[in-house]
Amino acid sequence: MSGLHVVLLVAALASPLAAQETARDSARTARRDTLDAVVVRATRVGAAPPTSQTLIDRATIERTYVGQDAPLALLGTTGVTAASDAGAFSGYSSLRLRGIDQTRLAISVDGVPLNDPEDQVLYFSNVPDFMHSMGSVRVQRGVGGSGFGPAGFAGALSFESLPLASTAAFREAEVTAGSWGTRRVSAAAASGVRGSFSAYGRATAQTTEGYRINSGNDARSAFGSAAWFGDRDVVKVTGFAGRSQMQLAYYAASEADIAVDPRTNPMSPDERDDFSQSMLSVQHTRSLGRTAAVTTTLYRNAAGGTYDVAVGDDRWNFGLDHTWVGLLSTATWTAGAIDWSVGGHASDYAREHSLRIRPVLATDVYANTGHKGEQSAFAKAVGRHGALEWVADLQLRQASFRYEPSAGVAIGSPVVTWRFANPKLGATWQLGGGRSLHASVARASREPTRVDLFAGADDLDAATAAEVLPLTRVRPEQVNDVELGVRQAGARGAVAVNLFSMRFRDEIAAIGALAITGSPLRRNVPRSTRAGMELEGSWTPAPTWRVDGNLVWMRARIAEYADESAGVTYRDVPPLLTPAVTANLQTTWEGRGGRFVTLGARHVGRSFLANDGNAALSIPAFTVLDGGVTIPVGRQQLRLQGQNLLSATAYAAGYHDGTTRYLFPVAPATFLATWQVTF
């Protein structure tokens, strides 16, 4: 038999086996991808009814993100303003959406809530390089859908970790260096799907001196996930851990001091913190057919550390340590033309607060504990009738806070319980020709934070208890939100216009002052409103060239604000740190082989430093230019990025004392270079 005959015989015998194996691989891939889609749907059932939102995809994250705190990475997104007390890259950063601070945004990763139950905030500095492990981020504006944890009062940040079913195997290392002593080293790897298993991990070390003097941050983090895909089941384990050691800069500098040195920081080099945070979740999804599934997630979140604050000649050492566990489950199915989702969530949280005075760290001045329990349930239906899709959504939620005072303080254990019903209705009408119309109406209610309840106090003794008890003195806040928008998509571009009207009752509004611990102080205002227009657009004049832009115009008002310290009542005044106009414009050129050039402009209008309408004590409008270049070199890549390229004078936040402005500056021209190696 000739060699050719042998080859033909082997090929003939192998062909059916190869075909069967290929068929099995194709079936396995299809099943895995279907299961992965089911998991995403089950964890994102809390998506809002048709409303204004922006999706930041993995490609954008890879092209623009270099480890900065997540709020700073979201600058340029419609309606977002952000600040870092350090002035650049990392620090105690904060984000506002439609001028509303992040304590009233529902923040989650893979459907797991991340808002600290007591303070309802996530300190992104505790989890550095977080966004590098995300597959996408959805920024939703307006009342959110029925997620878990606190209601999406003003919007939602929904992070989705890398989808393991569709992430190919890779290994990469990154090194970043740039302005203000910023350095970062990161390494990541993904296994791809091997049989029924897939895994991903990233470890990062980064440091920065901060733009402001003595505002540096030395941080470490790790993120990992692993998944097993069966015929009808997916089990996914996700976890992250971070440690951040920062010099504190949460007090702003006065105008006079900034005129002498723009980098000045009134806080001492000895005022610093050391905090760690970790989260672990185990998620199981069972497919009950093509259109039904049940997903159950168990999670544990923990954080702890201390920070020093100078008080006179002493250094007070504040300690915080919390543990938070929860269980959530969602069932989704389709019946006829309606998709149904129902779910429930229960969690238990406890955080210890303590104070010691250096150098005596063995003795507590006080040690108290806050306990927070929460239970919620929701039902959601999405129906379709021709060109019309409608959404109906109801969340029922109960939360309880109990305070366990320091030993020897005879105030009992105060308890307060809140119950909320949060309904939403929405509809989208496909008009044809790439045009659609959407409308929604929603109501959300939210309880006060511990800082709100205690008027900034970290411990209650007999005197402070008399001022803040009972715990019902601060009322829950409520908002009615109406959204109406139209979208038009074409071959070369798209445009969307969204009108919104948010009417608040008992809004827990910031008053422009800080507690000694750095937390903003807030209190109820009976009536307030935010109404405006959001405009988004994109245009592709050529295959390699894209232009994106957005504009928000808003009229925000507090009907009546009483300044108790001055004994003055102001009427029809804008709320603090809420600019009437924000706008962003970016152009991107994409060349061969993954070359990118971006240039963008960000404009933030004037905002007030207190709820008094005093234009003389406000933050002036500013416009900054940002840009970036990506240069691929084989399997390597160089990314050059610059923020505030023209060194415009800009201030991201601040406050005043009635006569003097205290401001947080935005760093002048800042440059970062990242070298990425894939192997």
List the chain domain ranges: 34-678
Lowest-pLDDT choice from 18-22, 320-324, 512-516, 648-652: 18-22
d(Cα 221, Cα 243) in Å, to the nearest integer?
Answer: 6
Give 21: exposed, middle or buried? Use CB within 10 Å, 0-12, 13-18, 19+: exposed
Only one residue has tokens 């990154």, namely: 174
- E-state strands within 543-580: 545-563, 568-573
Lowest-pLDDT choice from 9-13, 428-432, 490-494, 598-602: 9-13
**Stretch (H or E) spanning 31:** helix 3-43
Lowest-pLDDT choice from 125-129, 294-298, 353-357: 125-129
Confidence of residue 134 (pLDDT cuts 50, 70, 90): very high
Share of the chain above pLDDT 90, in %: 83
Given the DSSP bridges, would you call strands 366-385 and 388-404 parallel, antiparallel or unpaired? Answer: antiparallel
**Residue 414 clears pLDDT 50, i.e. is over it:** yes
Alpha-helix runs per DSSP H in 584-650: none
> How is residue 360 annotated by DSSP?
B
The pLDDT of residue 38 is: 59
pTM: 0.91
**Residue 218 clears pLDDT 60, i.e. is over it:** yes
- Asked if 151 and 395 touch (Cβ cutoff 8 Å), the reply is yes
- Asked if 276 and 301 touch (Cβ cutoff 8 Å), the reply is no
Confidence of residue 49 (pLDDT cuts 50, 70, 90): low
d(Cα 307, Cα 272) in Å, to the nearest integer?
Answer: 6
> How is residue 78 annotated by DSSP?
T
- Asked if 311 and 271 touch (Cβ cutoff 8 Å), the reply is no
270-294 pLDDT tens trace = 999 999 999 999 999 999 988 899 9
Q: Between residues 307 and 2, which one has the greater pLDDT?
A: 307
63-116 pLDDT tens trace = 889 999 999 999 999 999 999 999 999 989 999 999 999 999 999 999 899 999
Q: Mean pLDDT over all residues of the chain?
A: 91
- E-state strands within 209-261: 217-229, 233-247, 253-254
625-661 pLDDT tens trace = 999 999 999 889 999 999 999 999 999 999 998 899 9
Average pLDDT over residues 144-166: 81
Peptide bond just before 470 cis, omega within 30 deg: yes
The pLDDT of residue 516 is: 82
Cα Dmax for the chain: 107
Average pLDDT over residues 666-678: 97
Give 220: exposed, middle or buried? Use CB within 10 Å, 0-12, 13-18, 19+: middle
**Residue 17 clears pLDDT 60, i.e. is over it:** no
Q: Which fold has domain 34-678?
A: Maltoporin; Chain A (2.40.170)
498-520 pLDDT tens trace = 999 999 999 999 998 888 888 88
d(Cα 371, Cα 362) in Å, to the nearest integer?
Answer: 24
Query: Which two tokens mark 436?
Result: 């659609």
Query: Which two tokens mark 624?
Result: 């900054």
First-to-last alpha carbon distance for the chain, in angstroms, is: 45
Amino acid at 167: T
Query: Which two tokens mark 191?
Result: 């296994």
Residues 6+ apart with CB under 8 A from 369: 350, 351, 352, 353, 403, 404
Of 547, 572, 561, the residue nearest 495 (C-alpha): 547
**Residue 340 clears pLDDT 50, i.e. is over it:** yes
Residues 6+ apart with CB under 8 A from 389: 50, 382, 383, 427, 428, 429, 430
Confidence of residue 151 (pLDDT cuts 50, 70, 90): low
